[in-house]
Each structure stands twice: as C-alpha cells, then as structure tokens.
Amino acid sequence: MANDKASPRVLEPEAPVMVRMEKVGKKFGSIEALSNVSFQIRKGEILGLLGPNGAGKTTAMRILSGYFPPTEGKVWMFEEELFKNPRETKRHIGYLPESIRLYEDLRVGEFLSFVAQVKSVARSERKKDLEHKLEICGLGHVRNRLIGQLSKGHKQRVGLAQALIGEPDILLFDEPTSGLDPKQITEIRMLIRELGRERTLILSTHILPEVSMVCDRVLIINKGRVVASGTTEELGAGLQTSHAIYLTMAERHRKDEAIQLLKTIPGVERVHVTEETGDRLTFSIQVSKELELRPEITRLFVQHQIPILEVRFGRMSLEEIFLKIVVDENTTKENP
C-alpha cells in the first residue's frame, strides 16, 4: 500500500512484547469504567489511545501505571505480572499523568533527584541521569527554580523529565501536549517520536492529528471498550469495502450525464452521490483497486465541459475513522 508518510517507521517483526493487557475490566461501584480490554505492544512501538472524553482512557493509563489494579483481568509488563509485585515492576514504567501536578515547594533539581532515588537509580548514575534529562527536556536553566514558580509549559517538561528518569522501557503519556503553546507542542511531539524509537510508548490523547503524526498503531476506546485497533491505514481499510475517489462538481443538473460518464471508465465499480448542496454535487466513486483514475476522470469531464471543483483520493482521515467508529458505536447501542 502506498504510504505518503515521510518516514515510515519499520518495526522488527520479532520485537518482544512489552505490555500486554488481558481482558482487563475496572469497576467503580456499579460504574463500569473499562471492560474486556485486551491488547499488546511490542518494543519500539508507539500506541495511540484514542477515545472521547470519559471513554476510560485515563482509567486504562492508571491501571498500566500501577496506580490501581484492575477489577478483572491481568496486565503483563515483559514477562512479569504488574500487580503481583508492583513495587518492582513499576520501575520499568515512566508515567506522565494528565495535567500533572508536582511538588510546588521543591526545586526542579531537588524534585528530580527525589524521583531518581525513589526509582532506585544507582548513586553513581544519578547525577548523569539527572543532567541528561534536564538537557533533553530543556530544563537546564530552571533547575534551581521552585516548581511552583514555573510556567505551565515548563511544569509539563518537568513532568516529562520525571517520567524519563531511570530510563524506563515503557512510557505512558496521558495528554502530554495539553495546555502547551504550538511551539512547545511541536517540540514535545518530536521528543516523543525520538523516545519511541527504543522504547515502548503509549500515548493517550484526544488530539487526532497528534496520533496520526506520532503513533504506529491506534486503539480506539469508547465507553470502556476497545472498538477498533490497528494502524491508521488498517482502520481506514476496514471501514471501506474498496477504495474510493471523491469528486465534487458544479452544475448539479448534469448529474445523470456525469454518472453515465463515470461508469464508462474501466475500473469503476460503483458511483453514488454523497452530498448535494446548492449547485454542487459530490460523488464517491468506488474503484476495484487503488487505481489512479483521477487523470482519466478529469480528462473526460473536461471533454464534456462539466466543471470539476475537486478530485481527491478517498483515504479516510483519522478524524473520519474515529468519528465513524465512535458515532456508529453510539447509534447502534442506542437503537439495538
């Protein structure tokens, strides 16, 4: 399949499985926050956890971080079961909670050194580790400032630094870019991509472009259940029976003529109208394979003097996929 991403990340097919959730469910009293969630992530993979607000993303992240155990099911990190010996296993995890709150009365350096001690970073490594994290998170110049006096962006970086201390193999970032300015967002995304090369990273977010930019694979959660998972392409492919080209033309009254014209093109399977507004008309043209029929279509339409406004390939964007999956899910649930 053609991939227009600039640098497709190649995963080793035999990379070890780092995180595995098995039929995980979490109940708070009678409220079911998560139910029957299963997935696994290999080393070097970046998984995007998507879902509308209140879908159970943060609950899933909290279970993975060892904050609380699930009511049902098991979580494995490497070959260790997380909640069998959480005190030891949590050492492999770096967690950046959503809208992180820090000890405001500590200095940046003091706090990170506390984290390094808690995470049992060897005394000889501690200073080096600290310097390294201060540097990659761009905190060197504020290391002696009180955390309470830092800006939101800097606090978020301190949060990132505390997650990275101790070189954990598994990173969990819950909404890492919320509340940052566009420049900081770009920097953090670059950093995430960089970090994801050697580690396993789970990114929970509701910002869809972030997922398509950063993640290898997407897991969509709605109402505590996994409703879809796979790469963006796989998700899109699963939703479309075949590939489609979208065509928007003016002069709506020539609809039948246009349909006839389109059907003469070899490779076109089906044509149907998806939108009619004012003088405009949008067709979705289903093509048997991912054929490049756009030049042919344009040529024919120009020949017959039908004005074309737009011709584009029908690969669904992640927004469309997300909306389709979540909206479909909600409507089928409401009208069984």
Partner 1 sequence: MSKFLIVAKKDFHSYFHSWVGVLIFTVFFLIAGIFFSLLVISYGKITAEVAQNALQNVQGMKLTHFICGSFFLNLGVVMMFLAPLMSMRVLSEERKNETLELLFTYPLSDIDIVWGKYLGMLYFFAVLTLPTLVYIGLLMWLGANLDWGSIVAGYIGYGLLGMSFLSLGLFMSSLTQSQIVSAILSFGVLVILWAMDWIAGIAQGGWAHLFATLSPLGHYREFALGIFDLSHILYFCFFCFYFLFLTVRSIERRNWKG
**13 lies in the site for partner 1, by CB under 8 A:** no
Contact 186, 153 (CB under 8 A): no
Contact 121, 105 (CB under 8 A): no
Binder to partner 1 among 5, 15, 40, 104 (CB under 8 A)?
A: 104
Q: Which is nearer to partner 1, 108 or 316 (CB)?
A: 108
**242 lies in the site for partner 1, by CB under 8 A:** no
Q: Which is nearer to partner 1, 104 or 276 (CB)?
A: 104
Least spacing, CB of residue 166 vs partner 1, in Å? 9
DSSP letters along 254-317, please?
GHHHHHHHHHTSTTEEEEEEEEEETTEEEEEEEESS----HHHHHHHHHHTTPPEEEEEE-PPP
The residue count for binding partner 1 (CB under 8 A) is 33
CA quadruple 13, 14, 15, 18: dihedral sign:
positive
- State the Cα–Cα distance between residues 109 and 129, nearest whole angstrom: 12
Q: Which is nearer to partner 1, 29 or 336 (CB)?
A: 29
Site string for partner 1, 139-178 (x = CB under 8 A): -----------------------x----------------
Residues 27-46 within binding reach of partner 1 (CB under 8 A): 28-29, 31, 33
Q: Which is nearer to partner 1, 26 or 217 (CB)?
A: 26
Q: Tokens standing for 44?
A: 């070097």
Least spacing, CB of residue 47 vs partner 1, in Å? 18
**291 lies in the site for partner 1, by CB under 8 A:** no
Residues facing 64 on adjacent strands: none
**120 lies in the site for partner 1, by CB under 8 A:** yes
- 205 phi and psi angles, rounded to 5 deg: -160, 160
Measured at the alpha carbon of residue 202, what is the angle toward residues 137 and 217, in degrees to the nearest 5?
A: 120
Place of tokens 């954990």: 168
Least spacing, CB of residue 226 vs partner 1, in Å? 20
Least spacing, CB of residue 261 vs partner 1, in Å? 59
Radius of gyration of the chain (CA): 24
Q: Tokens standing for 49?
A: 């956890």
Query: Quick one: which segment of 63-71, 248-256, 259-267, 291-299 binds partner 1 (CB under 8 A)?
Result: 63-71
Q: Which is nearer to partner 1, 75 or 115 (CB)?
A: 115
Least spacing, CB of residue 235 vs partner 1, in Å? 30
Least spacing, CB of residue 90 vs partner 1, in Å? 4
Distance of CA 147 to the CA centre of its chain: 29
**115 lies in the site for partner 1, by CB under 8 A:** yes
**59 lies in the site for partner 1, by CB under 8 A:** yes
Place of tokens 């509308």: 52
Site string for partner 1, 74-103 (x = CB under 8 A): ------------xxxxxx-x-x-x--xxxx
Query: Quick one: which segment of 23-31, 183-191, 264-272, 300-308 binds partner 1 (CB under 8 A)?
Result: 23-31
Collect contacts of 193-196 with beta carbons under 8 A, ≥24 apart.
193/46, 195/164, 195/171, 196/9, 196/44, 196/45, 196/46, 196/171
Binding site for partner 1 (CB under 8 A): 28-29, 31, 33, 59, 65-69, 86-91, 93, 95, 97, 100-106, 114-115, 117-120, 162
